[in-house]
Amino acid sequence: MIDVEDLISLVRNYNPNTNAELIARAYEYGRNMHEGQLRQSGEPYFSHPIAVAAILTEMQLDDATIITALLHDTIEDTGSTYNEIADQFGEIIAELVNGVTKLTNLELSSTETKQAENFRKLFMAMSKDLRVILVKLADRLHNMRTIRSMDAEKQQKKARETMDIYAPLAGRMGMQWMREELEDLAFRVLNPEGRNSIIRRFISLQKETGDVVHKISNDIRRELDNHNIIADVFGRAKKPFSVWRKMEQKQLSFSRLSDIYGFRVITGTDAECYQILGVIHKRWRAVPGRFKDYISQPKSNGYRSLHTTVSGRDGKRVEVQIRTRQMHQVAETGVAAHWSYRDGHRVENPFAVDPAKWVSGLTERIETSDSHDEFLEHVKLEMYLDQVFCFTPKGEVIKLPRGATPLDFAYAIHTRIGGSCVGAKVDGIRVPLWTRLKNGQSVEIITAEGQSPQASWIDIVKTGRAKSAIRRSLRAADRERFVKLGEELARVAFEHVGKSATRKALKIAAKSHGIDDVDELLAQLGSAEITARDIVATVYPELVAAAPDEIESTRSVVGLSADQSFQRASCCQAVPGERIVGITYRGRGVVVHAIDCEALEEFEDKSDRWVDLHWHSGRHAADHNVTLNLTIGNDHGVLGRVCTLIGELKANISDLQFVDKKPDYYRLLIDVDVRDAEHLHSIMTAIEADTDVASITRYRNLSRAP
């Protein structure tokens, strides 16, 4: 366990003006509060907060963050309180400790609804002070380094949470070294054999080829010396999980992977970065399509660097990153560079991103989501972001996630542009809207008045902003359509009982259903969330009940024993007037099929399960549901006329679903409640007579067979 003097020395290495007395008091306070507590490994518990503080010194962070690390578990695990910490160490540190405590209690891997709400709290904490997340990430890193002391089930849970949430978050914040270590530690738990196999192959490769990293590093240094360029060169084999992920994504074996080695060249100025790039490209052949200039087009977290891949020694592909020392600091610590100290002063790094602006940009699009699923989708899109840079015809740069399409580009410019998009040109060539954009391409969006977002666009776009805007537009369009359909269904249903669907009657029905707005009631009716029968029954219950001389559906079948119940098979939807047969099911009674139902074929050799049935003679209630398959012209008033015809024939529409929408025709399924086969025939004949109805058939679906 690191003692207090060693910890203070670690801080003094980069901040000689540190408040050593305050750190010492926090150290002593934390040790006293955790006195007698042990970790699962048997070590004193306070060894953990000290280790977390030491990790944060590697990022050269300020005193408040270091002290927060020492105290981050005191409120949760000891008798310490917020007020006590505020009195002894100040409000800022108390707020930070309290923020870490709240994050510790979040179950980020729980059910989706709870997970979404907890992610909102996570981003809220980030927006207040990003140092809370820095302490939490360091806390998770030390816990993963010591995860072996946990039981197997807890190891799996923590490792999965780390892989899904904390590692991507560290990467999104620009802390790539932490992301890589968190991924590798989680990989060791989740797939130990996979990780070991990668390590064994590296060892085998090293035996065959020698120390490739050392050889290539020397080659690069030699070329730089020949051009009198002063720079540091570092090389390494990529982490096991990084190699494994590439093998999975590209479906390649280890032997076929090319760029498993990475090299960094650290120099003094931007100009030297481009000079070094020229030297490397002159000495080794560049791999087409693998050059990225993050100096002229930096990532949103402040990351700047030149990336290139070349065919190096023995034809092996190697990735080279070239950056200045200031860029390297941001590349190592990401957004945390904002709080870094050197020689007792806050580092004025021109490339460090203002954390407030970064979090604001990260959360702005996420917070526009309306549902839990949408919110989680946006969080994951943002956390796994890998950007490409494209240009408008005027030369403005648009940043998008990898895999983005021209539609994403359009919505990134403006929601109005996205919503009215009908086509796109990439580098002057017309392309489909689902085309994946690449770095440096010029994109021109073609728009048209009257165009509106299509449902299929949801599967095309990549960004949360575009998905959210499309969904909002579709919801608005659907609501307007459902309200109009609901008005027609309500009118027909009320006329069916000799009444009018007045605004007052609908308001009474809405209130009875706990709905504040009449339009919302109509929208729910149009979208089949409630039925017209339910609405009419709310206002005129005495008129909806079956007439005395009608045979209710519960006693409409003859041939059952006293202890048998029945239900109509949903595959064939037999109605009175058609020949029927029953099939017995254990625990379900008898299922009634039409005699010509194809589902009966599987019961041909099971005669003991067949029951001879027929319909009760007399007038049946109009509550036998049948699905009709219609193809109608896409023109004003067609659907309204169909609904009116059904209502005039004293039938009720209980559901309506659009199956296929084309510019000229719609195909839809309508559920109609009928009395018998004759009633059904009358309805189908009347609908078929309409000039805009292309076809009508009875819909039967064997997949719905019991």
pLDDT for residue 258? 52
Q: What are phi and psi of 127, to 5 degrees?
A: -70, -30
The pLDDT assigned to 105 comes to 63
pLDDT tens-digit series, residues 585-607:
876 789 999 988 888 888 888 88
For the cut 90, the answer to whether the pLDDT of residue 193 exceeds it is no
In this prediction, residue 339 carries a pLDDT of 60
Q: How confident is the model at residue 124 (pLDDT cuts 50, 70, 90)?
A: low
Q: Among residues 291, 288, 244, which one has the least CA distance to residue 388?
A: 291
> Does position 221 have pLDDT exceeding 90, yes or no?
yes
Query: Residue 184 and residue 250: Cα distance in Å, rounded?
Result: 19
Three-state DSSP class for 551?
strand
pLDDT at 230: 92
Q: What is the pLDDT of residue 123?
A: 62
- Return the sign of the alpha-carbon dihedral for residues 165, 170, 174, 180: negative
Q: Residue 248 catalytic?
A: no
- Which of 350-354, 440-444, 453-457 bottoms out in mean pLDDT, i.e. has the lowest? 350-354
Q: Residues 58, 77, 377, 690: which is the catalytic one?
A: 77
458 vs 473: CA distance, rounded Å: 11
- Judge whether residue 181 has pLDDT over 50: yes
Angle at 698 between CA 695 and CA 704, to 5 degrees: 135
User: Exposed e or buried b for every residue in 660-689, given b needs 16+ CB within 10 A?
Assistant: eeeeebbbbebbbbbbbbebbebbbebbee
pLDDT at 384: 46
The region of weakest confidence among 112-126, 301-315, 365-379, 570-584 is 365-379
The DSSP bridge pattern shows strands 397-401 and 345-346 to be unpaired
From CA 39, how far away is CA 22, in angstroms rounded? 26
Kindly tell me the burial class for residue 409, based on how many C-beta atoms sit within 10 Å of its own C-beta (0-12, 13-18, 19 or more).
buried
Model confidence pLDDT, tens digit, residues 304-334: 899 998 886 666 778 899 999 888 877 777 7
Q: Mean pLDDT, to the nearest integer, of 505-521?
A: 87
Angle in degrees, 0-180, between the axes of helices 4-12 and 47-58, rounded to the nearest 10:
10
* Position with higher pLDDT, 432 vs 543: 432
The backbone torsions φ and ψ at residue 18, rounded to the nearest 5 degrees and listed phi first, read: -60, 150
Of 27-41, 157-171, 349-363, 535-549, which range is least confident? 349-363
The CATH number given to 558-706 is 3.30.70.260
Distance from C-alpha of 635 to C-alpha of 631, rounded to nearest angstrom: 12
Can you give the pLDDT at residue 7? 93
pLDDT score, position 488: 85
- Indicate the helix (H) or strand (E) that contains 100: helix 91-104
Three-state SS across 649-686? CCCEEEEEEEEEECCCEEEEEEEEEECCHHHHHHHHHH
Q: Would you state the pLDDT for residue 225?
A: 93
In DSSP terms, which residues pair with 263 in a beta bridge? 235, 320
Calculate the CA dihedral of residues 5, 9, 11, 12 and round it to 10 degrees.
130
- Average pLDDT (569-584) is 91
Give the H or E element holding residue 123. helix 112-128
Tell which CATH architecture fits domain 391-462. Roll (3.10)
Q: Is 208's pLDDT higher than 50?
A: yes
332 vs 299, 438, 591, CA distance in Å? 14, 26, 68
* Structure confidence at residue 381 as a pLDDT band (50, 70, 90): very low
Q: Band of the pLDDT at 139, cuts 50, 70, 90?
A: very high
For residue 259, give the nearest of 318, 199, 180 by alpha carbon.
Answer: 318
* End-to-end Cα, the chain, rounded Å: 66
Tens-place pLDDT, residues 223-281: 999 999 999 999 887 788 877 776 665 555 554 555 577 899 999 999 999 999 999 99
Is CATH 1.10.3210.10 correct for 4-190?
yes
More confident residue, 451 or 542: 451
Domain chopping of the chain, boundaries: 4-190, 199-346, 391-462, 474-545, 558-706
What pLDDT was estimated at residue 107?
57
- Examine the pLDDT at 289 and tell me if it is beyond 50: yes
Domain at 199-346: CATH architecture: 2-Layer Sandwich (3.30)
The pLDDT score that the predictor gives to residue 633 is: 85
- The per-residue pLDDT for 372 is 47
User: Does the pLDDT of residue 62 top 80, yes or no?
Assistant: yes
Which candidate in 76, 270, 550, 690 is catalytic? 76
- Burial zone of 111 (CB within 10 Å; 0-12 exposed, 13-18 middle, 19+ buried): exposed
Q: Is the pLDDT of residue 112 over 50?
A: no
Calculate what percentage of the chain has a pLDDT beyond 90.
27
pTM as predicted? 0.52
Instruction: Report the b/e string of 376-401 with b at 16+ CB within 10 A.
Output: bbbbebbbebebbbbbeeeeeebebb
Residue with tokens 């037999």: 574
Q: How many CB atoms lie within 10 A of CB 318?
A: 25
Let me know if 21 is a catalytic residue: no
**Residues 323 and 313: beta-carbon distance below 8 Å:** no
- Name 318's bridge partners: 261, 310
Q: What is the dihedral of CA 527, 533, 534, 540, to 10 degrees?
A: 140
| Token output for 193 | 């054999």
Express each pLDDT in 627-681 by its tens digit. 999 999 887 788 888 888 888 788 899 888 888 877 778 889 999 999 888 889 8
At residue 473, the pLDDT reads 84
Task: Report the alpha-carbon distance of residue 232 to residue 221 in Å, rounded.
Answer: 8
Task: Quickly tell me which residue has 């498993």 as its tokens.
Answer: 260
Report the half-sphere exposure of 599 (CA within 13 A, side-chain side): 22
What pLDDT sits at residue 362? Answer: 53
The overall average pLDDT reported for the chain is 82
The predicted pLDDT at position 60 comes to 85
Categorize the per-residue pLDDT at 421 as very low, low, confident or very high, splitting at 50, 70 and 90. Answer: very high
The answer to whether the beta carbons of residues 136 and 103 sit under 8 Å apart is yes
Give 217 or 335, the one with higher predicted confidence: 217
